[in-house]
Structure 1
Amino acid sequence: MNEPKKDTAPPLSITEKQVLVSFYLTQLGLLVIALPLLWWQGNLNWGYFGLGNIHMWIWGGITGLAIVAADLLLARIVPERWFDDGGINRLLFKHRSFIHIFFISLIAALVEEMFFRGVVQHWLGIWWASLLFVLVHTRYLRQWLLVLMVGVISLVFGWLVQWSGTLAPAIVAHWLVDFLLGLYFRYLTDG
């Protein structure tokens, strides 16, 4: 009688350098897509980015802080394994300098909000933009809680853009979430 074949493939391993290169290449690809499409929509202008409206920055900051607080509170309540993204966030942030974490977070916030909220949401709406945002964050797809959290956060970012008519609050909130959680991985976790 033949025994079923056991999966003998080694577990996937990825290095910090591969994670960092993948991050930058992904962001570059999204930027190359987003810029001409924003221009084509007529939204590649300072007004759409809301850089001069301090109120939008404040709303983004409040939203970002609320998301980080909820995330840290939830992390204390639910089992740690429910937050396991395969160690990708740890690889991305753990050995980076403060300035590099700032830069990574800023790039992700600018590029991803330009693409998902500026381009995709403009054409397909908040729900489709949020679904695509969740799917692009593939490292979370094996954890239902992470999928739910990313989906809700994406909906909040989408609502901020729809409500304000600018990308500013979503960019600020996104940056703050990534930056503070990046600092958390860098300075407050083991390994």
Structure 2
Amino acid sequence: MSEDLNGITCDQRSQQERLILISFYFTQLLFILLSVPYLWWKNRLYVELAPFTEIHMWLVGVGVGGFIVAMEFVLIRLLPEHHFDDGGLNQLLFARRPWWHIMLIAVMAAIGEELLFRGLVQAWIGVWGTALLFALVHTRYLKKWVLVVFVTGVGTVFGLMVEWTGHLAPAVIAHAVVDFVMGCYLRYGAKG
């Protein structure tokens, strides 16, 4: 039976990848199921999602997402690799996926997390509280101060985008851009 560098068999790795993927989709669906009824009840669902048809929302989202990706690449270039080690979870999620599945994962994460954090939670605890909660939910990063600071900063930027535009659309777009590009980087461009 063949083993990879971590001493696990290919079957074990496939099973881990499958469990990570199932857990990911379950979590994102849960986020959506928690958020959509609340936004609908508050008559905010259409207001939050309608701007996807407006070009300036796409320009803001892609621009901010591109800036965040550029900052992440600068940090990756400047800092030792161990600062970005999330325990291999992202590697398991993205490493053997085709580009279209990485895109699906990125869009699903962006919709689920932005509906929950910026659409639901931010109204209760504000931009800063939501950014901290956003970082805490990404628990695999908590032992890596660079990742905690970076994810808190990204959560703050997403929250400020929602405050500035009054809509979730640019934050969802920026989030999807970041996750897609970084997922493709893990799949096609990262060492290892």
Instruction: Calculate the TM-score normalised by the size of structure 2.
Output: 0.89
Q: SS of the counterpart of 2:112?
A: helix
Q: CA deviation at 1:153?
A: 0.2
Q: Distance in 2 between matches of 1:122 and 1:53?
A: 24
Q: SS of the counterpart of 2:44?
A: coil
Q: Which residue of 2 aligns with 1:48?
A: 48
- Aligned partner letter, 1:83: F
- Aligned partner letter, 1:26: T
Q: CA deviation at 1:38?
A: 1.0
Q: Distance in 2 between matches of 1:111 and 1:125?
A: 18
Q: CA deviation at 1:143?
A: 0.4
Runs of 4+ in 1 over 4 A off after TM superposition: none
Q: CA deviation at 1:137?
A: 0.5
Q: SS of the counterpart of 1:55?
A: helix
Q: Distance in 2 between matches of 1:170 and 1:115?
A: 12
More helix by percentage: 2
Q: Distance in 2 between matches of 1:93 and 1:60?
A: 23
Q: Residue deviations 1:61-96, cap 9 Å, x none?
A: 010000001101111101110111001111100100
Range moving further from structure 2, 15-24 or 65-74: 15-24
Q: Distance in 1 between matches of 2:119 and 2:79?
A: 34
Matches within 5 A, 1:101-116: 101-116=102-117
Q: Which residue of 2 aligns with 1:119?
A: 120
- Aligned partner letter, 2:114: E
- Aligned partner letter, 1:48: E
Gaps of 5+ in 1: 1-12
Q: Distance in 2 between matches of 1:126 and 1:190?
A: 35
Q: CA deviation at 1:172?
A: 0.7
Matches within 5 A, 1:87-166: 87-166=88-167
CA RMSD in angstroms comes to 1.3
Instruction: Calculate the TM-score normalised by the size of structure 1.
Output: 0.90
Q: CA deviation at 1:189?
A: 2.3
Q: Which has the larger radius of gyration?
A: 1
Q: Distance in 2 between matches of 1:102 and 1:87?
A: 19
Give the number of aligned pairs. 178
Gaps of 5+ in 2: 1-12
Q: CA deviation at 1:48?
A: 1.7
Q: CA deviation at 1:190?
A: 3.9
Range moving further from structure 2, 26-35 or 158-167: 26-35
